[in-house]
Chain A
Amino acid sequence: MPSENKTSLSPWLPAFLSLIIPGSGQIILSHKTRGFALFLAFFALLGLVLWTQAYALLAPLALLLIWIARDAYRLAKGSEPSWGVSLLLIGIVLYGTALIVTEVRPTRMITGLPNVTPYLRSLFNPELFETPMKEVVGVTPIMVPCVDPLPAPNREATTSPQLILSAPCTEVGDLLQVTGAGFEPNESGQMQWIDPLGSPRRATFDGEVVTFKADENGRFDVTLLVPQAVPLTAQPAPGETLTHAVRAVQNIPSGRLQPTQTLSLVIEKIGETIALAFLATVMGVIFAVPVSFLAARNLMSGNPVTMLIYNVVRAILNVIRSIETLLWAIIFAVWVGLGPFAGTLALWFHTVAALAKLYSEAIESIDSGPIEAVKATGASWPQMVIYAVFPQILPTFTSFTLYRFDINVRLSTVIGLVSDAGLGFLVVQWVRLNRFSAMATALIAIILVVAILDFLSSWLRERIIQGRPIISSTNPLVRTVLKTVIIVGFVATFIWSWNVAQIKLIELVKGAPQGLALAREFATPELFTRPTKTVAISAPLTVPCGAAEPSTPADATITLSADCGETGDPLVIEGTGLPPNRTVSVRWVLPDGGYLRVRSNCCDTDDDGNLRVETAINPIVVMEEGQTEPARVEITYEEIAGRIQLSETVRTVIRLSIVTLLMALVATTLGALFAIPLSFLAARNIMGDTPAGRTIYYGLRTFFNVARSIEPLILVLIAATWVGAGPFAGVLALALNNIPNLGKLFSDSIEEINSGPVEAVTSTGATRMQSLVYAVVPQLVPPFLAFIIYQWDINIRMSTVIGFVGGGGIGQQFRIWVSLNQYGAAGTAILAIVIMVWTMDYLSAKARERLI
Chain B
Amino acid sequence: MLQIKNLTKIFPNGTVALNNVSFDVQDGEFLVIIGLSGSGKSTLLRCINRLIEPTSGAVLWNGQNITEAGSAELKQIRRQIGMIFQHFNLVKRSSVTTNVLTGRLGYVHPVWSLFGRFTADDRRRALAALDRVGIADKADSRADQLSGGQQQRVGIARALMQEPQLLLADEPVASLDPVLSHSILRYLELLNQQDSITVLCSLHFLDLVHRYATRVVGLKGGELVFDGLPSELTPEKFKEVYGEEAEMVSVAPPNAV
Using a CB–CB cutoff of 8 Å, the interface residues on chain A facing chain B are 754, 756-757, 759-767, 769-771, 773-775, 778-779, 781-782
Select one of A760, A765, A775, A779 contacting B106, CB under 8 A: A765
- Can you report 29 A-B residue pairs in the complex whose CB atoms are below 8 A from each other? A757-B90, A757-B91, A760-B83, A760-B90, A760-B155, A762-B51, A763-B51, A763-B78, A763-B168, A764-B78, A764-B82, A764-B83, A764-B102, A764-B162, A765-B74, A765-B76, A765-B105, A765-B106, A766-B102, A767-B105, A767-B110, A769-B114, A773-B113, A773-B114, A774-B105, A775-B91, A778-B91, A778-B93, A781-B93
User: How many angstroms between the C-alpha atoms of A773 and B111 in the bound complex?
Assistant: 11
As a 0/1 sequence over residues 24 to 51 of chain B, the CB contacts with chain A under 8 angstroms (1 = contact) are 0000000000000000000000000101
Please, how many angstroms separate the alpha-carbon atoms of A757 and B51 in the complex? Answer: 12
Q: A764 touching B114 by the CB < 8 A rule? A: no
Cα separation A775 to B85 with both chains bound (whole Å):
15
A771 to B102, CA, bound (A): 9
Could you say which of B82, B102, B103, B158 has the most chain A C-beta atoms within 10 Å of its C-beta? Answer: B102
Identify which of A773, A774, A782 gathers the most chain B CB atoms within 10 Å of its CB. Answer: A774
Q: Are B85 and A759 in touch, CB under 8 angstroms? A: yes
B51 & A759 in contact (Cβ 8 Å cutoff): yes
Task: State in angstroms the CA–CA spacing of A756 and B102 once bound together.
Answer: 14
Q: Interface residues of A: mostly helix, strand, loop or mixed?
A: helix
In the complex the two chains form, what is the Cα distance from A301 to B246 in whole Å?
56
Q: Taking the complex as formed, is B20 at the interface, i.e. its CB lies under 8 A from any CB of chain A? A: no
Q: CB-nearest residue of chain A relative to B52?
A: A759
Residue of B nearest to A777 (CB): B91
B105 contacts A761, C-beta separation under 8 Å? yes
Is A761 in contact with B102, judged by CB distance below 8 angstroms? Answer: yes
Q: Give which listed residue, B76, B79, B89, B113, contacts A760 with CB less than 8 A.
A: B89
Inter-chain CA distance A781–B93, complex, in Å, is: 9
Inter-chain contacts of B90 with A (CB < 8 A): 757, 760
* Minimum CB distance partner of A774 in chain B: B102
Instruction: Write the nearest CB–CB distance from B122 to chain A, whole angstroms.
Output: 13
Report whether A756 and B105 are in contact in the complex, using a CB–CB cutoff of 8 Å: no
Query: Is B87's beta carbon under 8 Å from chain A?
Result: yes
**For residue A759, which residues in chain B have a CB less than 8 angstroms away from its CB?**
51, 85, 89
* A767 pairs with B155, CB closer than 8 A: no
Q: Report Cα–Cα, A781/B142, bound state, in Å.
A: 14
The answer to whether B75 and A767 touch across the interface, beta carbons within 8 angstroms, is: yes
Q: Inside 8 A of B104's CB, which chain A residues have their CB? A: 764
- Which residues of chain A have C-beta atoms less than 8 A from B135's C-beta? none
Chain A, Cβ-Cβ closest to B159: A764
Q: Given A754-B89, A770-B105, A778-B94, 10 other A-B contacts at CB below 8 A?
A: A756-B88, A756-B89, A760-B89, A763-B168, A764-B102, A764-B159, A767-B105, A767-B110, A774-B102, A779-B93
Q: How far does the Cβ of A83 sit from chain B's closest Cβ, in whole Å?
A: 16
A773–B49 Cα distance when bound, in Å, is 21
- Residues in B with CB closer than 8 Å to A766 are 75, 102, 105-106
Q: Identify the interface centre among A765, A770, A778: most chain B CB within 10 Å of its CB.
A: A765
* Assembly CA distance A775 to B51 (angstroms): 15
Residues of A near B162 (CB, < 8 A) are 764-765
**Which residue of B49, B75, B85, B168 is within 8 Å of A756 (Cβ)?**
B85
Residue B188 at the A interface, CB < 8 A? no
Contact call A770/B110, Cβ cutoff below 8 A:
yes
Is the Cβ of A756 less than 8 Å from the Cβ of B87? Answer: yes
- Identity of the chain A residue whose Cβ is nearest the Cβ of B95 in the assembled complex: A778
Residues of B within 8 A of A778 (CB): 91, 93-94
Residues of B within 8 A of A757 (CB): 89-92
Q: Assess A774 versus B91: contact at CB under 8 Å? Given A764-B78, A769-B110, A769-B114.
A: yes
